[in-house]
Amino acid sequence: METIDIEEIQELMREEEYLAICQGDDSVAEEALENARIYVQAVAESYGIEYDEADSVLRLAVKKRALAELYIYAAEWTTAEQYKSQAAQILSPLAPVAEGILASKSAGYTAAGRTDWQGYR
């Protein structure tokens, strides 16, 4: 599988939206795609995962983040937030679990009961 190109991003959008955002300048989409790669690579590396665009999960995250970057460029904040959220949701299962932290915290506490509670015996 090759690296993601702007044609793949175009396929995820309606043609008129792509044209309205980029206005015939594909460098806008190229910059959005590069920003998405940088973001996903940084997140993956922070999780201890090697960045590889052949990985289907990372590939999908890059595409979603690239769409977010395009909508940010177009000042379509609501749509951009939706795509940013989707990219984050795709990446979140890859995050390492902090087992030491979770194991050291008590999930609950049970105290022994008393026989004389409010007069009940």
Q: How sure is the predictor about 17, in pLDDT bands with cuts at 50, 70 and 90?
A: very high
How many Cβ atoms are within 10 Å of 29's Cβ, its own excluded?
A: 23
Give residue 111's pLDDT. 61
How would you class 50 by CB atoms within 10 Å of its CB: exposed for 0-12, middle for 13-18, buried for 19 or more? exposed
Output the pTM of the full model: 0.78
pLDDT tens, residue by residue, 53-101: 999 999 999 999 999 999 999 999 999 999 999 999 999 999 887 655 5
Give the start-to-end residue ranges of the domains of the chain. Answer: 6-96
